[in-house]
Amino acid sequence: MIKLASGNYSNVLIRDVQINGNITITSADSSNPAVLKDLVLRNTSGFTFTGLELAGTTSGHQYAFQIASSSNITMDNLDVYGQNNLGSGNETPLMFIRDSQNVTVTNSEFSLGQFGIGMLNTNGVSISGNFFHDLRTDGVRGGGNSNLTVHDNLFTDFYPIGNDHPDAIQLWTTNASTVARNITITENMFVRGAGQEVQGIFIRDTYNNLPFDTLNISGNMIAGGRYNGLTINGAKNVTLDGNTVQGFSDQRSWLRLDNVTSVKATNNEATFFVTKGLTVEGVSGNTLIPAVSDGGAQAVAVWLNAHPGFDGEWGNLSSDVIALLNFSGTSGSVDTGNVSSPSSGGSTSSGSDDDAASGGNTSSGGSTTTDGDTGTTAPPPPSSSNLIDVIGTSSNDRLAVSNAGSSKVQGLAGNDVLKGGSGNYNELLGGRGNDVYLISSNGDKVIENAGEGRDTVRATVNYTMDANVEVLRMDKGGLTGQGNALDNRMIGSNGADTMHGNDGDDAIQGENGNDVLTGGNGDDWLRGGDGNDSLDGGAGNDRVYGDDGDDILQGGSGDDIVEGGLGADILYGGSGADAFLFRPEDITDGAVDTIKDFQVGVDRIALSTIDADSTNRGNDTFNFIGKSGFHNQAGELRYDVVAGNAYVQIDTNGDGRADMTVIVEGVTSLNIGDFVL
């Protein structure tokens, strides 16, 4: 065994090393794990990596961690993450396994990347017990992979951009030369959570010449996916049993079979079945279920109750998994042991609160906390000797304050869930590990030391992030969240949120509702989500994205990227050399954005993500023709001046009419240098 001292290890390459047996590489101090950056294994066998952080430092299309032409490799209990730049279009692909066999990836967390795990031409890869979240496109993806197992993984919070084809699990035959055989995808769960809808399981024979052979797709839950919730196109010898495709009221999601032969489909639930040439719905236990509007909370509770072994390093109890997902108000109110299936018309039982482990001489028992309030006065702290001790273990604990009085809750090691509340002054100490704090009272004080893991607060009251807390989720609308000096991740609720990142390079997402987001100091990433939002990047080189709705966006000082998204948006770059970014969906949206403070010769209007000529294949650049009229030629970019404002227009189909217009206030002259084409 090799034990690495705490610290960073960059550009690690292990090449042409064949171990007869196995050697383990781990951290000497599990509370302060070693950090490997840009790890590459090539023509290597017999290694286990466990208890480490893998921090991707690359950007764009270079893989952060690669396993190539290797065998008998185990990756276990790892925290794998990229740079904090979701939405930039330059995210890091995290892990890539190529031309390798007998590789296992278990009990690990993948976040902040373009995708989690990619594969090409592998045999005997097993991916199980992992947590994939805060990714741009895919969780698990690849082609040419046989004897593949994907089991017991949790996927949530995906943030695709532009024309992405996002999936929790996606397999294809592109670049493959032989048929992929013996693929098992079982007991996985995808929930939309705070992110966008993506496809759940998508398997496709790309060119209809290498159909997959022998698939077992069973026991999976897909809640809140896109149309292709579970899709198999081009396969034979398929077992499809006990899967649930739970559509939401805002997005139909279906179970789809196409070009599939020798299929056995039994006991599946879906809000829609699309089965070309096959009779599936209504036979062999396959059931049509209604769409839901609760974010999938009830369906997930039912599924967890039926899958008691669904666990991992990210949460070993059903209630903990519920708490990790974006179910506002469900923690402590969803009884996973007594919930009727949505297909039977049952309703969620409120039950009693989750049992809380306790130490010392008290037990919090089955109490139920309230939704919390926004009061401004916290109860005064009592003497430390009067605090009731609630102490966990070195495992993954779920702990709660005592109703008998002010409490000191200590999670110790492990990935713990600590629940505040009761209205008293309480101290919550997660200790080592990636802990989750459920805060519902102004009396709750979170105490974290540096280097003790990546910790999350879920708040139903106004909350300012305590020192060394990295992530804040607002679980109730109408509240204010404040960041700290770290690089924070802040996520809003379905209501109107106000969130201020303050210092650090923060990533702030408003979600639904009319939100107010400010980045403060640092190079921040802000995304409004649905609703008419107000975003201000503040100081630093920020990325400000409005998303849906009629938003007001301000870059602030620094060289910012400002992107309105759908809706009629008002855009301010502020000081610095700013870029105003537009995408193909701005054409179909039809709304007109207005740039308020464009600096000619300094700022630029970025159109490079738009194919200038939609009449042919390829990605063409625009032809700037100044103030001239369109010539019925696709790909022309022009502007006109009306009442002292420039009206920028593009024609992508050659019909001589503007497909998109942007108003640039106070500007009467533009040249090609004012655009990114």
pTM: 0.57
* Strand 269-270, strand 287-288: pairing: parallel
Cα torsion for 378, 381, 382, 386, to the nearest 10°?
Answer: 100
Q: What is the DSSP string of 606-623?
A: E-TTS-S-TTSSS-PPPE
Indicate the range of 152-166, 268-282, 517-531, 589-603 predicted with least confidence: 268-282
Is 386 within the bounds of a domain? yes
Distance between CA 375 and CA 64 in Å, rounded?
Answer: 45
Residue 510 backbone phi and psi in degrees, to 5: -80, -30
The two tokens of residue 419 are 């629940």
Cα distance between the two ends of the chain: 54
pLDDT digits (tens, 9 = 90+) for 150-178: 999 999 999 998 888 899 999 999 888 89
Residue 532's pLDDT is 94
Residue 311's pLDDT is 52
For residues 11-31, give the mean pLDDT.
92
Residue 379's pLDDT is 63
Indicate the range of 71-75, 240-244, 364-368 predicted with least confidence: 364-368
Residue 275's pLDDT is 84
Residue 569's pLDDT is 95
Count of domains forming the chain: 1
Is 450 within the bounds of a domain? yes
pLDDT digits (tens, 9 = 90+) for 83-94: 888 888 889 999
Distance between CA 192 and CA 200 in Å, rounded?
Answer: 10
Is 56 within the bounds of a domain? no
Is 635 within the bounds of a domain? no
Q: How many residues does the chain have?
A: 677
pLDDT digits (tens, 9 = 90+) for 387-414: 889 999 888 888 888 877 889 999 999 8
What kind and span of H or E run contains 232? strand 228-241
For residues 338-351, give the mean pLDDT.
30
For residues 17-44, give the mean pLDDT.
92
pLDDT at 317 over 90: no
Residue 31's pLDDT is 79
Confidence of residue 360 (pLDDT cuts 50, 70, 90): very low
Give the C-alpha distances (Å, rounded to integers) separating 648 from 152, 276, 611, 640, 669.
Answer: 51, 46, 16, 7, 11
Contact by Cβ (8 Å): 254, 233: no
Contact by Cβ (8 Å): 565, 160: no
Residue 84's pLDDT is 81
For residues 93-101, give the mean pLDDT.
96
If you average pLDDT over every residue of the chain, what do you get? 86
Is 460 within the bounds of a domain? yes
User: Is the C-alpha dihedral spanning 317, 323, 328, 330 positive or negative?
Assistant: positive
More confident: 52 or 356: 52
For residues 562-579, give the mean pLDDT.
95
Is 226 within the bounds of a domain? no
Closest alpha carbon to 439 in 496, 376, 372, 352 = 372
Please calculate the CA angle 572-576-577 and round it to the nearest 5 degrees.
Answer: 90
Indicate the range of 187-191, 318-322, 590-594, 661-665 predicted with least confidence: 318-322
pLDDT at 645 over 70: yes
Q: What is the DSSP string of 485-514?
A: SS--EEE--SS--EEE--SS--EEE--SSS
For residues 233-262, give the mean pLDDT.
93
For residues 423-451, give the mean pLDDT.
90
Residue 283's pLDDT is 76
Residue 399: which domain range?
355-469
The two tokens of residue 217 are 């797709």
pLDDT at 487 over 70: yes
Residue 403's pLDDT is 79
Residue 214's pLDDT is 97
